[in-house]
Amino acid sequence: MLKKDLIKRSPAGRIIGEEEIDRVNFGAVLSRAGVGKTQYLVQIALTKLLKNEKILHISLNDPIEKIKARYLEAYNDLVDSIGYVDPQKALRLWEEIKNEKIAVSYNEQTFDPEKIRAYLKSFKKDDLTLPALIIMDGLDFDQDLNDTLKGLEAISEKFGIPIWYSMQTHREQDFAPSGYPVQLEKVKDRFDKAVFLQPKNDKIESVILTDENRSNEYYLLNPATMMIVE
């Protein structure tokens, strides 16, 4: 029951569409530094964890302790958003789902998609359930990522796992003529879905850039919790 309530409240589920999260090879959350890309990605991952599905969170910036803390914080924010919840019940659910998350922190300089492939292969080899989602946080889209994205695309297709990325934009940079941030413009053919976050007054505005059905849906988020402001 609590699980269902939390999934319903999930900002990621509501903005992107619960089913839509899976219907991609690549998805991206874009914003300039410090707006809340990673926390938004964590909310996307939480929708999977709440269905008892495994997720693989790869970070090129955060140490694993920080990743763990981000998940706990996002879960607590989600719980708080539905009003009173029996704390014991919430804790039990957290204990149940937290182990579905695998956090891996790679060094940005030496990161190679082959490392992920080797790991996922071990799941196949031992006939274990594969992660349902990969979060890829910290790739620098100002660089030429062609080879890396190619490798990750192959992984997404081979193992059938959607990958959601964080993509950092810059305040001083103009948008491309298409209306996309330049970081997305360069790689837009590879991405099925992209969510753009930008500060608006004391809130954060979220809009989907690549979904025609939803491109006019704007949501305001609380910058502290990334929950939708009703």
Partner 1 sequence: MQRNLEKVRNIGISAHIDSGKTTLTERVLFYTDRIHKINEVRGKDGTGALMDSMELEKERGITIASAATHCDWKGYDINIIDTPGHVDFTVEVERSLRVLDGVILILCSVSGVQSQSITVDQQMKRYEVPCIAFVNKCDRSGANPFKVIDQLKNKLGHNAVPMQIPIGLEDRHDGVVDLVTMKAYYFEGAYGEKMVEKEIPEELQDEAARIREEMIDAASVFSDDLTDAILEEQPISEEMIYDAVRKGTNARQLTPVFMGSAYKNKAVQPLLNAVVEYLPSPLDIENEAIDLDNNDETVPLVSDFEKPTVALAFKLEDGKFGQLTYIRVYQGAVRKGDLLTNTRTGKKIRTGRLIRMHSSDMEEVNEIPAGHIGAIFGIDCASGDTFTGSGVNYSMMSMHIMDPVISLSLKPVDNKAEISMSKALNRFTKEDPTFKTYVDKETNETIIQGMGELHLDVYVERMRREYGAEVITGQPRVAYRETITRKSTFNYTHKKQTGGAGQFGRIAGYMEPTDEWFEFVNKITGGRIPTQYIPSCEQGFKSCMEKGPKMEFPVTGIRVTIDDGAYHAVDSSEMAFAAAARGAFLEAYSKAKPVIKEPIMKVVIETPNEFQGSCMGLINQRRGIIEGSQEEGVMSVIESKVPLSEMFGFSTVLRSSTQGKAQYTMEYSNYKQVPQSVAEEIVRKKEEEKKEDQK
Question: Which residues in this chain contact partner 1 in the complex, by CB under 8 A?
Answer: 63-65, 67-68, 99, 102-107, 110, 115-119, 121-123, 125-126, 128
Task: Output the smallest distance, CB 102 to partner 1, in A.
Answer: 5
* Token couple for 199: 């500060």
Q: Which two tokens stand for residue 126?
A: 């031992």
In the bound state with partner 1, the residue whose beta carbon lies nearer, of 102 and 228, is 102
**Residue 121 C-beta: closest distance to partner 1, Å:** 8
Q: How far apart are CA 19 and CA 148, in angstroms?
A: 27
Token pair in block for residue 69: 């803390």
Shortest approach of partner 1 to residue 71 CB, angstroms? 11
Nearest Cα neighbor of 207 from 192, 220, 218, 221 is 218
If you count DSSP H runs as helices and E runs as strands, how many of each does the chain have, helices first?
8, 8
The residue (of 83 and 87) whose beta carbon lies closer to partner 1 is: 87
> How many CB atoms within 10 Å of residue 39?
21
**Rounded Cα gap, residues 219 and 6, in angstroms:** 18
CB of 222 to partner 1, least distance (A): 28
- CA-CA distance, 75 to 206, in Å (whole number)? 20
SS3 call for 134: strand
66 vs 200, beta carbon nearer partner 1? 66
138/19 Cα distance (integer angstroms): 25
Output the smallest distance, CB 22 to partner 1, in A: 23
For residue 64, the minimal CB distance to partner 1 (Å) is 3
Which CB, 118 or 229, lies closer to partner 1? 118
Residue pair 58/136 in contact (Cβ under 8 Å)? The answer is yes
The distance of Cα 23 from the centroid of its chain, to the nearest Å, equals: 14
Beta carbon nearer to partner 1, 25 or 105: 105
Query: Around 102, how many Cα atoms within 13 Å sit in the side-chain half-sphere?
Result: 15
Q: Which is nearer to partner 1, 30 or 97 (CB)?
A: 97
For residue 62, the minimal CB distance to partner 1 (Å) is 9
